[in-house]
Amino acid sequence: MSLNAGFPKDCAADRVGGIKDIHITTKDDVASFTGTNGTYTAVVMETGKIFVKYEFEQDVAEWRESGEGVKGAKQYTHEVEFVLPALTQLQRDAIQDLADQACGLIIIVTLSTGIKFVVGSSDKFLLDRPAYFLSDATTSGQALLDPDQSTVVLQSIDATKASIFTGSIPIV
Amino acid sequence: MYDIDESLKGKDIWTVNGKIEIDNATDKQLAELVKLGQPGITKKEKKPSKE
């Protein structure tokens, strides 16, 4: 098998870091993604189902993926981390909702550059390896100036880098 | 004029141009989905005209 192409240096590429927003739905609400080879051009949703938005303060969210290989075998771990501020009933319920989704989650992360990545679906496994709630670190803080907040991490593990999504995000 | 697979019935497909309700999709929208590579949608072949 030959390499498809090299990588041409693009000095005009937008290289700003960070995440603009995160949209999440349950695996059961997504029928499939359209497209292959690392690009999804559309998402097929069950009737009337949509993604919901998790909002956060500036510079407190991150999408990351790490890959490892052993003699041709490969594994990619995708993680989405964000901080939800203020320990309120609303905040508590939003996190519990994520933790309760035993069938998994599908996440669309929009980077600051505007590029969107899908976490929880892949060419090889389709929707069979969705994202799950991994951790929640909640703290009241100790001093008055300490932030009261929860740091949430969602994770999926599959065999390829995340796919780019060029469709529109299903929202109201 | 397109054939739509049963598995797509009732589904909503979100492309770069927004939502397409597959049950109410126009031929133009179905053509867009075919162009995007959406499985389960095929153009009906024209029957040969009788002469």
Residues of chain A with pLDDT under 50: none
Predicted local confidence at residue B51, as pLDDT: 60
Name chain B contacts of A31, Cβ cutoff 8 Å.
Answer: 7-8, 11
Predicted local confidence at residue A74, as pLDDT: 96
What is the spatial distance between Cα B4 and Cα B41, in angstroms, rounded to a whole number?
A: 5
Predicted local confidence at residue A130, as pLDDT: 98
> Are A61 and A19 contacting, i.e. CB atoms less than 8 angstroms apart?
yes
The nearest alpha carbon in chain B to A34 belongs to B38
Name chain B contacts of A35, Cβ cutoff 8 Å.
Answer: 36-37
| Interface membership of B33 toward A (CB under 8 Å) | yes
Predicted local confidence at residue B32, as pLDDT: 93
Could you give the ipTM of this predicted complex?
Answer: 0.90
| Interface membership of B36 toward A (CB under 8 Å) | yes
Backbone angles phi, psi at A134, to 5 degrees: -105, -45
Contact A36 B37 (CB under 8 A): yes
Predicted local confidence at residue A86, as pLDDT: 95
**Cross-chain CB nearest to A168 (options B8, B16, B38):** B16
Name chain A contacts of B36, Cβ cutoff 8 Å.
Answer: 34-35, 41-42
C-alpha torsion A7→A77→A56→A111, nearest 10: 10
**pLDDT above 70 coverage of chain B, percent:** 94
Predicted local confidence at residue A172, as pLDDT: 84
**Cross-chain CB nearest to A44 (options B11, B18, B37):** B11
pLDDT beyond 70 at B18: yes
Contact B19 A42 (CB under 8 A): no
Contact A42 B12 (CB under 8 A): no
Amino acid at A75: Q
What is the spatial distance between Cα A65 and Cα A157, in angstroms, rounded to a whole number?
A: 9
Predicted local confidence at residue A87, as pLDDT: 97
Convert the pLDDT of each residue in B21-38 to its tens digit. Answer: 999 999 999 999 999 999
pLDDT beyond 90 at B44: no
**Cross-chain CB nearest to B10 (options A36, A47, A168):** A47
> Are B22 and B10 contacting, i.e. CB atoms less than 8 angstroms apart?
yes
